[in-house]
Structure 1
Amino acid sequence: MTGIPPVALLSILVLLVVLAVDVWVYADAKKRLSQGEQVSVSLGALRVESPEAWFLGCLILWVVFFPLYLTATRRNPFGRSSG
């Protein structure tokens, strides 16, 4: 009785969760852009501002871009823009 090893199942599950989060980031960034609230971050010469760029960034380097997206979308408690 051979089946898929538990480690492989766990890896697949993690990949599916990361992909689902990437799709959510894209959808959220697109919704914010349609409402006139562009999510953008500058990292030196690199500027991430389109929903597609956020999706690709999260897809390629999730551990960096997903927390960066969450930080960029956090609202200022004083209602003023921070930049």
Structure 2
Amino acid sequence: MTGTPPAALVSILVLLVVLATDVWVYADAKGRVRRGNPAFVSLGSLRVETPGAWFLGCLIMWVVFFPLYLTATRRNPFGHRSG
């Protein structure tokens, strides 16, 4: 059998999905800053609030920062910032 093994193709696909979501997080966070509604989270001494910080967080630890971003941008039914 020649070509790329299926496991390698799955790994490449996962990497592409992670990179695409990282770019989306950056673009969305940047748009939120422009609209005056930035996404931020503060956990102890860690504060993530800039689009660049969200992008780097997602790039380095996607499993932690992507769900955290989704949570930070979620609004309650009354329109007030959650968290």
Give the alignment's TM-score, normalised by structure 2.
Answer: 0.94
Partner of 1:14: 14
Unaligned runs of 5+ in 2: none
Find out whether 1:71 has 2:68 as its counterpart: no
Partner of 2:38: 38
CA RMSD of aligned residues (A): 1.2
Instruction: Tell me the alpha carbon deviations over residues 10-64 of structure 1, each in whole angstroms, 9 at most, x when there is no partner.
Output: 1000000000000000000000100000110011101000000000000000000
How many residue pairs end up in the alignment?
A: 83
How far apart are residue 81 of structure 1 and its match? 3.5
Q: Distance in 2 between matches of 1:80 and 1:11?
A: 39
Unaligned runs of 5+ in 1: none
Runs of 4+ in structure 1 displaced over 3 angstroms? none
What's the % identity of the aligned pairs? 78
**Amino acid of the residue matched to residue 47 of structure 1?**
R
Q: Distance in 2 between matches of 1:81 and 1:4?
A: 47
Give the alignment's TM-score, normalised by structure 1.
Answer: 0.94
How far apart are residue 3 of structure 1 and its match? 0.8
